[in-house]
Amino acid sequence: MKLKQIRAVLAAIFWIGISLLFLDISGALHVWLGWMAKLQFLPSILALNIGVILLVTALTLLFGRIYCSVICPLGVYQDIVSRIAGKFKKNRFRFSPERRKLRLIVLGIFVVLLFVFTPLAVIIEPYSAYGKIVTLIFKPVYEFFNNLLASVAEHYDSYAFYQVDVWLKSGIGLAIALVTWIVVTIISWKSGRGYCNSFCPVGTVLGYMSKKSVFRIQIDDNKCVSCTLCEKNCKAQAIDSKAHQIDYSRCVSCMNCIEKCHKGAISFSKYVSKPAAESDTKSDEPQDSTRRKLLTTASILAVSGVVKAQEKKFDGGFAVIEKKQIPEREVPVKPAGSISLKNFTSHCVGCQLCVAECPNGVLRPSEKLSTFMQPELSFELGYCRPECTRCSEVCPAGAIVKITREEKTTIRAGHAVWIKDNCLPAVDGISCGNCAKHCPSGAITMVEYSEFPGVMIPSVNSERCIGCGACEHLCPSRPLSAIYVEGNLVHMDL
Amino acid sequence: MKNNNINRREFLTLAGAAAATTAIAMSGCGNSDTAKKITGNSTSSKKEIPTDKMTYRVNPKNGDKISVLGYGFMRLPTVSKQSARESSDEIDQESVNELTDFAIAHGLNLFDTSPAYCKGMSEHSMGIALSRYPRDKYFISTKLSNFVAPQWSRENSIGIYKNSLKELQTEYIDFLHLHGIGMGAKDINGNDLSGMEAFNQRFIANGLLDFLLEEREAGRIKNLGFSYHGDVKVFDYLLSQHEKYHWDFVMIQMNYVDWKYAKDINPMNTNAEYLYGELEKRQIPVFVMEPILGGRLANLPQHPTLMLKTERPENSVASWAFRWIASHPNVLTILSGMTYMEHLHDNLSTLCPLEPCTEEENTLLQRVADEFVKFPLVPCTQCQYCMPCPYGLDIPGTFTHYNKCINEGDIAVSKLDKNFAEARRKFLIGYDRKVPKERQAAHCIGCGVCKTHCPQNIDIPKRLTDINDYIEKLRQETL
């Protein structure tokens, strides 16, 4: 097999695997494909995953930017777009000089932002941009088709497929994903790896690393007839065929030029003219940044939305169920395994993999500027179920560390807060207690209400509360629950 | 089973295939939302239902010939065909008319409804369907369903009665029931009333019963009786007053399970054997409701099904229930809520004409009942009286799904069961399909409003909690 085909097959495997990882609704795939997300460069840096950092560095120092043409899903996506564009217009590329200033400025801003304000930095980071595109744009489409299959299955009494809720996780998130998707697609349609070689911070870092790589694309001056075919087919626009020079900071080792050359003048081989120098690997280790506190003092829930029991006159039918509203939380609730809000915000790259994985409709990207596009919990559609630890299993960036089901029962990610004015027993004297009934950690006990003899109201023991949101989700008060979860800044142990 | 808007010709073509697929139909019509029954060989295209063989019973009061099969308008087909899913469903009047036509053509002449049925739309629908026929072709049975406290004033209750006449487009009512006698209620302040107290509030304190007796004198009510559920004290009391009121009929819940086991299923209930015996003693004709328990006696668990199928392979499981009831001579009519043409077809072929149960068959049915009560089914007949739940739950939908899983052997006992994974998947996925998440058992706050409405006396909040506990164990795999 030729090198180009090997590259293409590997790229296809990675691209399909990662895409499926985001699209998966069964919760089974991450066991097999989770490692593909963990290989991603920026998440592994934020997770201080030394093994992966060394692996990617070594790969790059040996073979150049094959990370960009095989492992990076956004890179492969652009290759696909560029390939389709190539069907319409042959030999469409020309050598262009490196936009070094632009690359370095973008990288500089990115690194600074990464320390100061991660959520904004990662908007141009390729892996998390790809994750947003798949999760927020394509996953709903995938789920829609799944639901079609599920209704067919239902018709035949089969349990092979089941319905999932398709819901808009974040309007702003969708907008950003759409813009990213359109811009990246247009750039790659017009100029191949234009985004990777002018903006992508990972591309820039790996690019300068690969200037020292052992194996490289090389032009044999003796065989070359300066036909410019390689230059016209280089999607990185990195081959200067007149000068027989290649800009290795932009070459992604895709091997296309080898195929194109009629004279066999191009080879991927050990670089000879210069000896390999020592690497200047960058380390983007995050330090404890002095992040500004993100607490906004919002007034809590003035509106009382107590359900008014519907008068029964006839048999049958359903009472209308009002949608639950998201309460204003002073501290966002982060998944168990996040360790602390600080740890979470400084590690999360906003790739949405956990959002895509969450089977309970709990995780969604934040729309607050301070935690922009980083996932947070809310309990309108479900609650953080005790048997589920999927987000912690997939997170590649160390924002959510892996926890077991048993550990989850002892992690206090938040605490429930009771709002008297929304509570059915306190307002209408109805006996309820659904929050206490469903609390998995026994943190809620019903106690006699002094103002309403004989009526029991919930009381929360914050010390035992794990912030799972069962109470908030199952509270009959709508649109605002009478009990809701506030996040804990640091996730304490029970 | 999906298409209930089926015309007769199409139906007969379909039915040809049904005979060959009885076994599949037995376990496989699981997605139908309402009462379902097995379409056995009785729907074979070879056997036309005769139009002149309906079994009739004579009303001792006036010699009227009443068909032993009565049409219950409590489970009417809806336009969207998904009768349990969402609340906007409208009655499929076209189907109702077709069903009515088919029933009348085959000699059925008693139609039963209530102002409360089908979200209050049942009487209106019946009025449309029946007014197309001469008034002497059919008998109308309806009820005084003043269930909730605001309706208890004399004025409001009489208003309900007058409205029935209007909706049914008739000058008189053939059979008027005092509806749901024996059931408790909540008074205007939300306090629980016993069955006796509720009866007094609904019919005595406001002088309503006297008014109805006058209406009977005036001929606007041909027959006055009551339909009984729940507290047997009220039943006994009303029968003790027979000399005074002269009940023309009484409706009871009667089938081969409730005959001896009603009390075992729920200590609050009374065995049909006693109820029927008391009525027979006084020569009061019996209306029968819940002949197949809302479909549960049409779709039995596997083993009892086999017992019946072995005996009469060509008859549906439901047909046994109807034959058994109709074999009791004091039964005037059996009300069956036949949602789909298949149901009507099957019941007509059972009772046109009736082949009474033999002694051996009665013994067999007793054995089936013995087995049936051992299954921990929720005794819900999907009558919808509990609905709408003020908190939006789908109570009958939840019970139906649970019962279906029991019937099909898909309730796991422990996670070590061989079929645990499959049972878990079927239960959880099936539940999400049947009932939207926000209407599932976990959302029950136990307010108990439903309890007073349930004619089967099911402790609904308790059963919902138990089902939710089972679901939690499935989800967490801690069973």
Residues A121 and A35 in one domain: yes
Residue A358 pLDDT? 93
Which single residue is written with the structure tokens 């030999």?
Answer: A91
Q: How many C-beta atoms surround the C-beta of residue B80 within 10 A?
A: 12
Q: Closest approach of chain A CAs to the CA of B433, in angstroms? A: 7
Query: Number of C-alpha atoms within 13 angstroms, CB side, residue B466?
Result: 11
DSSP track, B3-44? -----HHHHHHHHHHHHHTHHHHHHH-TT--S------GGG-
Residue B368 in this model has a pLDDT that exceeds 90: yes
Give CA–CA dist A378/A263, Å, rounded.
62
pLDDT at B15 over 50: no
pLDDT tens digits for B26-36?
333 334 444 44
**Closest Cα of chain B to A448: distance in Å?**
17
Q: Total domain count for chain A?
A: 2
pTM reported for the whole predicted model: 0.70
Residue B227 predicted with pLDDT over 70:
yes
Give the pLDDT score at A402: 93
How far apart are the CA of A162 and the nearest CA of chain B, in angstroms? 6
* Residue A279 in domain: no
Return the percentage of chain B with pLDDT > 70, whole number.
88
Residue A98 and residue A10 share a domain: yes
List the single residue in B with minimal CA-CA distance to A435: B445
Q: What was the pLDDT predicted at B80?
A: 66
Query: Which residues of chain A does B119 touch, with a Cβ-Cβ cutoff of 8 Å?
Result: 314-317
Distance, in Å, from the CA atom of B125 to the CA atom of B133, rounded to the nearest integer, reads 14
- Name the closest residue on chain B to residue A440, using Cα atoms: B472
Residue B38: pLDDT band by 50, 70, 90 thresholds? Answer: very low
| Token pair recorded at residue B144 | 């005084």
Predicted pLDDT of residue B34 = 41
Cβ contacts of residue B85 below 8 Å, gap of 6+? B33, B436
Two tokens, residue B385: 């009286």
Q: How confident is the model at residue A379 (pLDDT cuts 50, 70, 90)?
A: very high
Do A321 and A173 lie in one domain? The reply is no
- Between chain A and chain B, the number of residue pairs with CB atoms below 8 A apart is 113
**pLDDT at residue A245, rounded to an integer:** 87
Note whether A308 and A422 are same-domain residues: yes
In this structure, the answer to whether residues A103 and A197 fall within a common structural domain is yes
Residue in this structure with the two tokens 């809806």, named with its chain if needed? B78
Q: Are A166 and A206 in contact (CB under 8 A)?
A: no
For B448, the closest chain A residue by CA position comes to A431
Residue B23 pLDDT exceeds 80:
no
Distance in angstroms (rounded) separating the CA atoms of residues B142 and B139: 10
Whole-number pLDDT of residue A281: 40
Helix segments in A321-455, DSSP class H: 341-347, 353-357, 390-394, 405-408, 424-428, 434-438
Provide the shortest C-alpha distance from residue A328 to chain B (in Å).
22
pLDDT digits (tens, 9 = 90+) for B183-205: 988 888 888 899 999 999 999 99
C-alpha distance from A180 to closest chain B C-alpha (Å): 34
Nearest to B436 by CA among A164, A366, A100: A164
Give the minimum alpha-carbon distance from B220 to chain A in angstroms, rounded to a whole number.
Answer: 25
Structure tokens at B244: 């005074």
Confidence of residue B180 (pLDDT cuts 50, 70, 90): very high
pLDDT confidence bin for A1, thresholds 50/70/90: low
Q: Note whether A200 and A306 are same-domain residues.
A: no
Of A2-6, A409-413, B27-31, B80-84, the poorest mean pLDDT is in B27-31
What 3-state DSSP class applies to A178?
helix
Residue A352 is assigned to a structural domain of this protein:
no
Judging by beta carbons within 10 Å of its beta carbon (0-12, 13-18, 19+), is residue A30 exposed, middle or buried? buried
Most A CBs within 10 Å, among B122, B147, B445, to test the A interface = B445
CA dihedral B161, B162, B168, B169 (to 10 degrees): 160
* Confidence class for position A311, pLDDT limits 50, 70, 90: low
Query: What's CA A193's distance to the chain center, in Å?
Result: 22
Tokens of A363: 């995780």
Residue where one domain finishes, among candidates A249, A270, A291: A270
CB nearest to B442's CB, from A163, A318, A474: A474
Closest Cβ opposite residue B387 in set A311, A315, A476: A315
A359 contacts on B by Cβ (under 8 Å) = none
In 3D space, the residue among B407, B427, B412 whose CA is nearest the CA of residue B479 turns out to be B412
Percent of chain A, pLDDT > 70? 91
Which of residues A223, A255, A270 is at a domain's end? A270
User: In this structure, what CATH number is given to the domain that contains residue A318?
Assistant: 3.30.70.20
In a domain, A459, yes or no: yes
Say whether B475 and A310 touch across the interface (CB within 8 A): no
Question: Is there a domain that residue A124 lies in?
Answer: yes
A227 touches chain B (CB under 8 A): no
- On whether both A110 and A248 belong to a single domain, the answer is yes
Q: Does residue A311 sit in the same domain as residue A208?
A: no
Please, which residues have CB within 8 angstroms of residue A392's CB and are 6 or more apart in sequence? A335, A336, A337, A400, A401, A402, A403
pLDDT at position B439 over 50:
yes
As a residue count, chain A comes to 494
Query: For residue B3, is pLDDT > 70?
Result: no
The pLDDT value recorded for residue A290 is: 35
* Interface contact flag, B31 A474, Cβ < 8 Å: no
Domain assignment present for A172? yes
Any domain includes A38: yes
Which residue reads 């006994």 in tokens?
Answer: B236
pLDDT of residue B25: 36
Give residue A476's domain range: 302-331+409-494
Question: A406 CB near a chain B CB, below 8 Å?
Answer: no
Both A197 and A112 in a single domain? yes
The reported pLDDT for the residue numbered B192 is 87
**Chain B residues near residue A318 by CB distance under 8 angstroms:** 86-87, 387-389, 392, 394, 439
For residue B91, the 8-state DSSP code is B
Enter the ipTM. 0.72
Contacts of B425 in chain A (CB under 8 A): 159
Are residues A230 and A315 located together in one domain of the fold? no
Same domain for A216 and A313, yes or no, is no
d(CA A196, CA A187): 10
Task: Provide CATH code, domain B8-372.
Answer: 3.20.20.100
Domain limits, chain B: 8-372, 395-476
Least confident window among A306-315, A431-440, B345-354: A306-315
Considering A270, A294, A323, which residue would you say is the last residue of a domain? Answer: A270
**Nearest-5° angle of CA B347, CA B348, CA B354?**
90
pLDDT, one tens digit per residue, over A91-147 is 889 898 889 999 999 999 999 988 888 888 888 899 999 999 999 999 999 999 999
**Stretch B328-335: mean pLDDT:** 96
- How many whole angstroms separate alpha carbon B9 and alpha carbon B370? 40
Flag whether pLDDT at B10 surpasses 80: no
Quick one: tokens of A66?
Answer: 């094959």
Write out pLDDT tens, residues A325-362. 999 999 999 999 999 998 998 889 889 999 999 999 99
pLDDT band for position A280 (cuts 50, 70, 90): very low
B264 pLDDT band (50/70/90 cuts)?
Answer: confident
Residue B352 in this model has a pLDDT that exceeds 70: yes
- Domain co-membership, A174 together with A307: no
